[in-house]
Amino acid sequence: MEGQHVPRGYLFSVAAAGIRYQGRSDMALIHSEREATVAATFTTNRVKAAPVICDMKRVRSGKGRTIVVNSGNANACTGDRGLRDAEAICREVAVRLDVPERSVLIASTGVIGTPLPMERVMRGVDGLIRSLGKAGPWDVARAMMTTDSFPKVVSRRGGSGATEFTVTGIAKGAGMISPEMATMLCFILTDLAVGRTVLKAALAEAVAKTFNLTTVDGEMSTNDTVIAMANGAAGNRPPAGGSPLLRRLKAMLLEVTDELSRMIARDGEGATRLLIVKVRGARSQRDARRAALSVAESPLVKTAVHGGDPNWGRIMAALGHSGAALREHSVEIAINGVKVVKAGLGTEREREASEAMAGEEVVIDIDLKRGGYSERVYSCDLTEEYVRINARYRT
């Protein structure tokens, strides 16, 4: 896995600043050797962390070079001091790398409400600058981890015509994952040259289809950030709308964000199973989405999935609760390919379905038979371990 392609023209480093965790890296730097096009999406939570507020201004230019990230402390609910701290970090990075301050972006994840230990952070920044180029995407992914149990990196290499390029996504997830992007950070790097408007639209589309349809606990974080950088090291001319190269980029972006979404759901706090909820036959896209989310977020469905129980009654209740148009007597439900509900009634194939649920992946297929719209949501089971992790996160 760690031997995947890396886009050209990016340097990486990590440092162990001891912000909260000991004996591991907790800061990372991603630096493009040349100015890159930048696009980003952020949490829609009204309480936004300092790094999010800081970045929202900076990405307006559509240009950037560097991302500095830390784990262990979210720098959220830290008021003016938090904002000053975030800006001071960016400034220090900019000065040391001799790039404009506005070209540095920042992301943080971890505990809310505690100011950053700036002395340690600044020593960390020093370490990042000194070791730039000595790490790779996997090291960055490891430095970003909080309650994640594994680092998340996905790369795709592809091309169109004479242009070969790579898209690499580096993410962290785990808890507080919810539509509209929850405590997740994701940095997507490509060496393709892409115009600002095109990159922004392609990112928005990929996020809408993947991260925003991924849920662990319905929570939405104050820090969610997805940043895409395109530095043009591939030497291509920026692709025009509708060109084969742009289509290729979009497809690769979607593959990378889709695979990262699956990894984030699978690594939901305490999760033992990936849950994929597919709804089709909905009367509208909105209905498909809310029906799928209602099932994917239901604690009763998620605990049943944990217990390997094909409890379709809970799925029916969650569908009825979703607000989506449905007729009870036309609903069909299959779990891992075993049809457990036909015409709204149980088929008495629960033993078979239970056996089919033995693996690490549970797919719930729902057909509402009311129209032509479909949606798919990634989620995970709800376990005792989720409660243990979150009852003891700080104490």
Return the active site residues.
183
Of the pair 256, 326, the CB lying nearest a copy of itself is at 326
The token pair at 341 is 């509900």
Draw the binding track, 221-260, toward a copy of itself (x: CB under 8 A; -: no contact): xx--------------------------------------
Using the rule CB under 8 A, which residue among 100, 113, 161, 241 binds a copy of itself?
113
Residues 268/174, Cβ–Cβ less than 8 Å: yes
Instruction: Give the DSSP per-residue string, 265-309.
Output: HHTSTT--SEEEEEEEEESSHHHHHHHHHHHHH-HHHHHHHHTT-
319 binds a copy of itself (CB under 8 A): yes
Q: Which stretch binds a copy of itself (CB under 8 A): 138-146, 186-194, 235-243, 323-331?
A: 323-331
CA distances from 174 to 20, 151, 324 (A): 18, 11, 28
How far apart are the C-alpha atoms of 74 and 85, rounded to whole Å?
Answer: 12
Residues 213/377, Cβ–Cβ less than 8 Å: yes
112 binds a copy of itself (CB under 8 A): yes
Of the pair 222, 257, the CB lying nearest a copy of itself is at 222
Residues 15 to 54 in contact with a copy of itself, rule: CB under 8 A: 45-48
How far apart are the C-alpha atoms of 205 and 202, rounded to whole Å?
Answer: 5
How far apart are the C-alpha atoms of 73 and 182, rounded to whole Å?
Answer: 16
76 binds a copy of itself (CB under 8 A): yes
At its nearest, how many Å lie between a copy of itself and the CB of residue 292?
A: 16
How far apart are the C-alpha atoms of 333 and 341, rounded to whole Å?
Answer: 5
117 binds a copy of itself (CB under 8 A): no
Smallest CA-to-CA distance from 338 within 348, 328, 329, 330 is with 348
Of the pair 210, 311, the CB lying nearest a copy of itself is at 311
Of the pair 37, 215, the CB lying nearest a copy of itself is at 215
Residue at 34: amino acid letter: R
How far apart are the C-alpha atoms of 287 and 218, rounded to whole Å?
Answer: 18
Q: Which stretch binds a copy of itself (CB under 8 A): 138-146, 152-160, 259-267, 384-392?
A: 384-392
Of the pair 136, 281, the CB lying nearest a copy of itself is at 281
The token pair at 150 is 């594994």
Q: Which stretch binds a copy of itself (CB under 8 A): 30-38, 73-81, 164-172, 245-253?
A: 73-81
Q: Which stretch binds a copy of itself (CB under 8 A): 6-14, 92-100, 248-256, 340-348?
A: 340-348
Draw the binding track, 290-309, toward a copy of itself (x: CB under 8 A; -: no contact): --------xxx--xx-xxxx
Sign of CA dihedral 305, 307, 312, 314: negative
**How many Cβ atoms are within 10 Å of 333's Cβ, its own excluded?**
23
Give backbone dihedrals phi and psi of 54, rounded to 5 degrees, phi first.
-60, -50
Interacting residue ranges for a copy of itself, rule: CB under 8 A: 45-48, 74, 76-79, 111-114, 175-176, 178, 217-222, 298-300, 303-304, 306-309, 311-314, 316-321, 323, 326, 328-329, 341, 343-346, 354, 382-384, 386-388, 390-395
